[in-house]
């Protein structure tokens, strides 16, 4: 439990702060209890949506320099909690509404419904960016010709043959993006004031462009970070005598963008539960702390080496999440579906790993 002690302390303090905030806002005992319960639910939502993120983070951190491991588990927590779940949504709303950040903060506290509409109006762009980045993470793993451990053996052996084709994962991602842009409904450029009006062809066209640009931005972000990481790893091998660990920075950026892609859905989904930005920040922050603790636990215990299919299950969950994000452009996909799908894949891969260890005790 030592790995989760810090997260449990944060959860305890967070729930108290949520109650105090609700009381400060003029709530009675029932309202305070409701705020604490909603904060707890939001933390569970964040953990369920980001469970597979913890597994992938652990897989990356295992090969990371110890210094950058510590930086990710310290600075990364601050960026994840405050940056991705508080400040980044404010930046998104500022861009969508063409407002300065200070005005957006005022709207978030004084007009939470309006703030939620602004953020929801950016859902298509957020889904396209996050979906494309996560899809590339999945495709890069599943099509890797050097991968020698296969969970769903008949399928994965065929896929690594396809992966030998140069940049084939990019081709697949672009095809998915072209399909996703046909899901445009025009709601992104609808009147964000909430007043009903007719969606025109121009609105749909603008949203298609938004989806394409955002998706391509996600693709370029992945290629750039992956390319820089590969370049610096080469430099690292050449400078090994000097002890230089340059690849850490690129990997750190990769993990932060990956975390951002996961957090988008949680932030928007949270507004379906409550409009209080402070309660949302506390709830998602508690969840993020538990995800970081789980990541540290997986790294220090060598869990991925012990359960060989766990990483596969996480990547399948990420691939499904990417498709769900694209589908979410047009369809309303409940957060419970998103969260449970990831947990199911992780559970199945864990069960398969345990079965494998029983059949192969020497290897285990």
In order, the DSSP letters of 313-354 are HHHHHHHHHHHHHHHTTTS---HHHHHHHHHHHHHHHHHHHH
Give the Cα separation of 225 and 250 in Å (integer): 6
Which string of DSSP letters, residue by residue, matches 187-251?
Answer: GGGS-TT----PPPHHHHHHHHHHHHHHHHHHHHHHHHHHHHHHHHHHHHHHTGGGT--THHHHH
pLDDT band (50, 70, 90) for residue 328? confident
Confirm whether 93 is domain-assigned. Answer: yes
Average pLDDT over residues 33-39: 88
Report which of 339, 289, 276, 297 is spatially closest to residue 14, judged by C-alpha positions: 289
φ, ψ dihedrals at 181, nearest 5°:
-70, -20
Cα distance between residue 212 and residue 206, in whole Å: 10
Kindly state the average pLDDT of the residues 54-76. 77
> Average pLDDT for residues 117-125, to the nearest whole number?
80
For residue 364, what pLDDT is reported?
58
Q: What is the mean pLDDT of residues 286-314?
A: 83
Structural domain includes residue 330: yes
pLDDT (0 to 100) of residue 236: 45
Is 145 inside any structural domain? yes
Q: Does residue 364 lie in a domain region?
A: no
DSSP state of 93: H
User: What is the CA angle 62-66-70, rounded to 5?
Assistant: 100
| pLDDT value of position 172 | 92
Task: Give the pLDDT band (50/70/90) at residue 313.
Answer: confident
pLDDT bracket for residue 219 (50, 70, 90) = very high
Given this model, what pLDDT does residue 237 score?
47
The pLDDT of residue 188 is above 70: no
pTM tops 0.85: no
Q: 179 pLDDT band (50/70/90 cuts)?
A: very high
Cβ distance 286 to 14 under 8 Å? Answer: yes
Q: What is the pLDDT of residue 232?
A: 58
Q: Residue 329 and residue 181: Cα distance in Å, rounded?
A: 9
Q: Is residue 26 part of a domain?
A: yes
**Residue 363: predicted pLDDT:** 65
pLDDT band at 174 (very low <50, low <70, confident <90, very high): very high
Percent above pLDDT 70 for the chain: 88
Q: Is there a domain that residue 102 lies in?
A: yes
Domain that holds residue 111: 2-359
Q: How many domains does the chain contain in total? A: 1
What local confidence, expressed as pLDDT, does residue 246 receive?
44
CA proximity to 354, closest of 284, 303, 316, 317: 303
Q: Is residue 338 part of a domain?
A: yes
Could you tell me what percent of the chain has a pLDDT over 90? 7
Q: Tell me, yes or no, whether 135 lies in a domain.
A: yes
**293: its two tokens:** 């603790």
What was the pLDDT predicted at 244?
38
């Amino acid at each position: 439990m030592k790995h989760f002690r810090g997260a449990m302390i944060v959860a305890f303090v967070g729930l108290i702060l949520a109650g105090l905030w609700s009381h400060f806002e003029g709530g009675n005992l029932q309202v305070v209890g409701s705020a604490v319960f909603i904060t707890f639910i939001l933390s569970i939502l964040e953990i369920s949506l980001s469970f597979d993120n913890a597994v992938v983070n652990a897989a990356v951190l295992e090969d990371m320099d110890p210094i950058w491991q510590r930086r990710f588990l310290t600075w990364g927590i601050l960026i994840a909690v405050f940056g991705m779940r508080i400040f980044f949504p404010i930046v998104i709303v500022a861009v969508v509404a063409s407002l300065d950040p200070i005005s957006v903060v005022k709207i978030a506290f004084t007009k939470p419904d309006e703030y939620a509409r602004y953020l929801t109006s950016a859902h298509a762009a957020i889904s396209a960016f996050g979906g494309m980045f996560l899809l590339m993470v999945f495709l890069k793993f599943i099509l890797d010709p050097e991968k020698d451990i296969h969970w769903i053996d008949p399928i994965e052996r065929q896929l690594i043959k396809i992966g030998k084709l140069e940049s084939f994962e990019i081709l697949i991602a672009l095809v998915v993006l072209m399909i996703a842009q046909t899901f445009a409904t025009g709601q992104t450029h609808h009147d964000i004031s909430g007043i009903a009006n007719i969606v025109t062809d121009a609105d749909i066209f603008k949203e298609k462009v938004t989806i394409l640009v955002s998706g391509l931005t996600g693709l370029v972000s992945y290629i750039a970070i992956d390319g820089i990481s590969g370049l610096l790893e080469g430099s690292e091998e050449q400078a090994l005598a000097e002890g230089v660990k340059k690849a850490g920075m690129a990997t750190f950026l990769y993990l932060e963008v990956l975390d951002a892609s996961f957090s988008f859905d949680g932030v928007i989904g949270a507004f379906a539960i409550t409009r209080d930005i402070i309660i949302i920040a506390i709830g998602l922050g508690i969840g993020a702390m538990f995800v970081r603790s789980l990541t540290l636990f997986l790294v220090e215990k060598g869990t991925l080496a012990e359960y060989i299919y766990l990483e596969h299950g996480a990547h399948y969950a990420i691939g499904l999440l990417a498709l769900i994000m694209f589908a979410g452009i047009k369809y309303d996909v409940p957060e419970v579906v998103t969260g449970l799908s990831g947990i199911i894949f992780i559970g199945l891969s864990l069960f398969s790993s345990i079965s494998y260890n029983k059949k192969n005790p020497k290897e285990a």
